[in-house]
Structure 1
Amino acid sequence: MSKPRSTTPQGDPPPSVLSLYPPARTTKPRTPPPPPGIPGRQGSPDDFPLKFCTVCANNQNRSMEAHLVLSQAGFPVISFGTGSAVRLPGPSIDKPNIYAFNATSYDEMYTELKARDIRLYSANGLLSMLDRNRKIKKSPERWQDWNVGLPRVGAGPVEKRGGGEKTYSDEIESGIVDVIITCEERCWDAVVDDLISRGSPLNRLVHVINIDIKDNHEEAAVGGKGILELAKMLTAAAKEEKDKAADEARDFDRSSVDGRVPEILAEWQERHPTLPVLWTASYF
């Protein structure tokens, strides 16, 4: 599948409630998807439901909204940011609040900003966002620091929408995921570049999908719903292929699922024309 052309601007993103980022960097040429039949694509019934990872720049707004809705729907999910530091809006555009990834918790950010200016940070939605985030996991995490393959279990309970049984937001027992969904093209570039630089030590295929979502609370909510729909479509296809293999008394081959990803993305894009999508296959 040829990648749909993205409308993401290549310069600095426009100012928004959560868009105080440094200039976009120049990236290495993108590699094409690997051919069919490559090693490392075998799956098993234990691979279902599919495991997801959501990524944005700060691991605060877009990736955490998607993390939440996927968690509430019962999907194993983790999330990251790709920036050098966490940047949140401050009293002016040239005075952002800057925090370290993996070190400063959402709760600490919430408490500090509430004490600084409760009126400002309530009005721009930061306090409500941080309050949501601290109920999902401890702190924002940086993609480049992820120890792939290290089991991650039980960051904390997340109530499903409408109440009822709780699910866990961070149950990735195998320490790897099947699908990475980024929320901005430069984050997609950073993830793909980082995967290439790691050298594929696990020889495990992963789909890297970018869904271009504007960095504000309203668009994050819309994008989160779109990501959930895509997760359901991908998982439904995976289960169909698994059941087909069982009916035909043969071993399940994950490549049958991988081969359907382009058509699923094309169908999803028709339903969501305002959310430009990019896709490639890479390796852990």
Structure 2
Amino acid sequence: MKLRYAMVCSSNQNRSMEAHALLKREGFDVASYGTGQHVKLPGPSLREPNVYEFGTPYKHMLDDLRRKDPELYRRNGILPMLKRNVSVKTAPQRWQENAADGTFDVVLTFEEKVFDMVIEDLHNRNHVLLKPVLVINLEVKDNHEEAAIGGRLALQLCQELETIENWEDCVDDVIINFERQNNRKLLYSISYY
């Protein structure tokens, strides 16, 4: 079965893009989004993040941070992350504005508050298609190491979903097996387009 996937995180473009890059490399039909008001990347201090509008090209962010302090942003992993992102897509997109992208079969989030936002957004849309969408939260800490682990887990979960004929009939079994294999608890819900 060929499903369409969305990877969604808050605003820093690390966890969703790591999963997007892995799934894209494996030939999946995948997109990625953030749910925040802006894209926020770590800055010189917690009170000084680098803030960009959604739609700002990753190349622009990369060039901007290279100008500001290349050593700091190389050391904290932001430059390598942005290089990866440039190779995956042009610019970050906001989930709430993705209507033009069509529908997804599976939406994977990486923190519970984003899961809640996606569910609420889907609930508030007009359900004209009555097409089901499986929303799953795979909790992943927001750092580069955990994002890499989360990306591999997301790939594994999506590979398992691809092997079944109809996810609506088997989703409970897939989730239970995944949780057992990986010692991770997943939240999931079914919504509609």
Q: Cα offset for 1:59?
A: 5.6
Q: Following the alignment from structure 1 to structure 2, what is the Cα–Cα distance between the partners of residues 189 and 66?
A: 20
Q: Select the structure that is richer in strand.
A: 2
Partner of 1:185: 112
Query: Within 5 A, what are the aligned runs for 1:218-233?
Result: 218-233=145-160
Q: 1:124 aligns with which of 76, 81, 102?
A: 76
Give the % identical residues: 42
Distance, in Å, in 2 between the alignment partners of 1:223 and 1:198 is: 29
Q: Does the Cα contact within 8 Å between 2:12 and 2:40 map onto a contact in 1?
A: no
Q: 1:199, CA displacement in angstroms?
A: 2.4
1:267 aligns with 2:192: no
Q: What are the within-5 Å matches in structure 2 for residues 153-232 of structure 1?
A: 175-232=102-159
1:1-284 → structure 2 map (5 Å cutoff): 48-58=1-11, 60-102=13-55, 104-148=56-100, 150=101, 175-238=102-165, 256-273=166-183, 275-284=184-193
Q: Which aligned runs of 4 or more in structure 1 are off by greater than 3 angstroms?
A: none
* Secondary structure of 1:60 counterpart: coil
Normalized against structure 2, the TM-score is what? 0.97
Aligned length: 193
- 1:117 aligned partner, one-letter code: D
More helix, by proportion = 2
Offset from partner CA, 1:15-36 (integer Å, 9 cap, x none)? xxxxxxxxxxxxxxxxxxxxxx
**TM-score when normalising by structure 1:** 0.66
- Check whether the contact 2:12–2:41 (CA below 8 A) recurs between aligned residues: no
Please list every run of 5 or more consecutive structure 1 residues that lacks an aligned counterpart in the other structure.
1-47, 151-174, 239-255
- The two structures, once aligned, show a CA RMSD in angstroms of 1.1
Rg (Cα) greater in structure = 1
Counterpart of 1:220, as a letter, is: A
- In 1, the alpha carbon distance for the partners of 2:12 and 2:118 equals 14
Say if 2:137 and 2:188, in contact at 8 Å, map to a contact too.
yes
Q: 1:59 to 1:72 in 2, by over 3 A?
A: farther
The amino acid across from 1:270 in the alignment is R
Q: Distance in 2 between matches of 1:73 and 1:49?
A: 13
Q: Which runs of 5+ in 2 are unaligned?
A: none
| Contact 2:137 2:186 (8 Å CA) reproduced | yes
SS at match of 2:176: helix
